[in-house]
With several copies, the nearest count.
Chain A
Amino acid sequence: MDVVYFAWVRERIGLPRETVETQAETVADLVAELRAREARYDAAFEDVSALRVALDQELSDFDAPLKGVREVAFFPPMTGG
């Protein structure tokens, strides 16, 4: 599964994109796996209420199932316009 990061999430984790081998059933499960890996992930995902998630480029939420998903993106609330 491809996992991509934007803005300060990308900066905290230190990379824009990685491929993750996971059996996580939901986004929240994936976040728990990532946080357990290393301090920089733990720091980036400390407050998920400050984060947004997109599954295959559609906005989604942290309860959503990952079955069939190829790309998960984590980022802060958008500030376009």
Chain B
Amino acid sequence: MDIRVQEAAFDAGAELNAFTNAAQGAGAIVSFSGIVRDVAGGLNTMTIEHYPGMTEKALTDIAKQATDRFDLAHVMVIHRFGDLGPDEQIMMVATASRHRKAAFEGAAFLMDYLKSRAPFWKKEITQTSADWVESKAQDEDALSRW
């Protein structure tokens, strides 16, 4: 299990290859990456705030749950905080399993829980506005399928 909360940028491709090497024998690898999208008005910066200490605990707990439930061979979660520009990588999860179904479900489970249970908050800053991103009812609803 590889959990990282960091301000620095990361290289998703290099992380995918390192994860695949670390998960030898798994057969099926799924990755999800989240990228900063531009917004109406032109995004200058996305600022990500988090709760140091709780963040690492929450991500570790979610990753353990996913590992047990889907019998994953390996799990990775990387999530950035601080100021990001458009098209920068925000975060990435990866799962490894013998079977594709478990790898897909494990990654989707991680993302659903990470969205609503890990203490990160995003603020979108344009030339004329600075708005906290609101959570979506559908993100909370997504948890009910697990």
Using CB atoms and an 8 Å cutoff, list the residues of chain A in contact with chain B. Answer: 4, 6-8, 10, 54, 57-59, 73, 75-81
Contact across chains for A76 and B121 when beta carbons are under 8 A apart = yes
Contact across chains for A80 and B132 when beta carbons are under 8 A apart = no
**Also in contact, A81 and B132, with CB within 8 A (given A4-B51, A57-B53, A75-B51):** no
Q: Please report the number of residue pairs spanning A and B whose Cβ atoms sit closer than 8 angstroms.
A: 71
- Which chain A residue shows the least CB distance to B56? A57
**Also in contact, A73 and B54, with CB within 8 A (given A7-B132, A80-B118):** yes
**Also in contact, A81 and B54, with CB within 8 A (given A6-B121, A7-B121):** no
B81-133, CB < 8 A from A: 90-91, 100, 111, 114-123, 132-133
For residue B34, CB closer than 8 A to chain A, the reply is: yes
B119 in complex: contacting residue of A8, A10, A78, CB < 8 Å: A78
A80 in complex: contacting residue of B53, B57, B115, CB < 8 Å: B115
With A and B bound together, what is the CA distance between A48 and B83 in angstroms? 28
With A and B bound together, what is the CA distance between A76 and B135 in angstroms? 8
Q: Which residues of B contact A58 (CB under 8 A)?
A: 54, 57
For residue B68, CB closer than 8 A to chain A, the reply is: no
Digitize B63-89: 1 where CB-to-A-CB distance is under 8 Å, 0 elsewhere.
000000000000000010000000000
Min CB distance B65 to A, Å, is: 14
Contact across chains for B51 and A80 when beta carbons are under 8 A apart = no
B135 in complex: contacting residue of A4, A10, A78, CB < 8 Å: A78
Contact across chains for A54 and B119 when beta carbons are under 8 A apart = yes
B33-49, CB < 8 A from A: 34, 48-49
